[in-house]
Structure 1
Amino acid sequence: MAPESSEQPALEELDRAECLRLIAPGGVGRVAYDDGEGPAVVPVNYTVDGESVLFRTSVSGRLNRSLLSAVTGGQVRAAFEVDHFDEGSRTGWSVLLRGGAHRLSDDERDKAVRVDPWPGGEREAWFRLAALEISGRRLLGT
């Protein structure tokens, strides 16, 4: 028998400040983009810089090729998602940033907050996703 709705965890919308607070420690998030063959989602290590996230990938990888803009200084539409859930208590949160991603120039990279990727190998393509929209939800336990 399904639990009564009053026993179900409550879902609350998060404001921009709370979303940024939750993702501020950095860690692992997912970049969503169109790779030319359709939607793609890739996990990356990230750090937060203001209302932007920074991440690195390999120069030869699909993510780098897909996010490069043909226009100098241009941006590619992308999204970035971070979440944390506890399946036992059925609680957690999810934050979504949507905006434009661009590859950092050498000068921007030298001034950027450090991003330390977990996987080995070269990760010399640095990106900034500047959030135009930030939204999030939290699932509260009963």
Structure 2
Amino acid sequence: MIRHDRPAHRRIDLDRAEALRLLGSVSMGRIVFTRQALPTARPVNHVLDGGDIVIRTHEGSALTSQAQPADDNGVVVAYEADAIDPDTHLGWSVVVTGYARLVTDPHELARIRALLEPWAAEPGMDHAVRIHPDLITGILLIAWSEAAPEHG
């Protein structure tokens, strides 16, 4: 039987400022980059720093080997974070697309190390990658009962 009821959720597009605010409210996300010509996703923790997303990584990681030093263009990546309730399926999701660059300035790297403790305690997590957001999209999933009344 096909149901024609109103869906239980309403999707609201977020503006850039709200999407970044929500992204900054969590510490974990997923970075998507190209490895051997295929998309690869990795869970990582992050911090927002001056509107950029910063993650820690180690020498020899697939991302570290692809991210260029800060004075080059870098590598295109996507970064996604969310907070969606597993029972109600309500919450939000933000996707950032931009260029990832390896942080090479020793003073900036020391500052980042103080800001962000890696959640995966791998040896050599001494590197950092900065993602400058060029495109930010986000959605909020709310219950219809929370939505503004429909017109017409």
TM-score class, shorter-chain normalisation, is: 0.7 to 0.9
Supply the distance in 1 between the matched residues of 2:127 and 2:22 (Cα, whole angstroms): 26
Quote how far apart the aligned CAs of 1:8 are: 2.1
Partner of 1:82: 81
Whether the 8 Å contact between 2:70 and 2:102 is mirrored in structure 1 is no
Residue 107 of structure 2 is matched in structure 1 by 107
Alignment partners' CA distance in 2, 1:72 and 1:63? 14
TM-score normalised according to structure 1 size: 0.88
Kept after mapping to 2: 8 A contact 1:104/1:126: yes
Larger Rg: 2
CA positional deviation for 1:7 = 4.1
Name structure 2 gaps, 5 residues minimum. Answer: 145-152
| 1:4 to partner: Cα distance | 4.1
User: Residue in 1 aligned with 2:148?
Assistant: none
Structure 2-normalised TM-score?
Answer: 0.83
Cα separation, 2, equivalents of 1:43 and 1:98? 16
Q: Distance in 2 between matches of 1:79 and 1:7?
A: 29
CA 1:3/1:117 → structure 2, altered by over 3 Å: closer, same or farther?
Answer: farther
- Give me the identity figure in percent: 27
Query: 1:87: Cα distance to partner?
Result: 2.4
Partner of 2:125: 123
The gaps in structure 1 that reach 5 residues or longer are: none
CA shift in 2, pair 1:104/1:72, >3 Å: closer
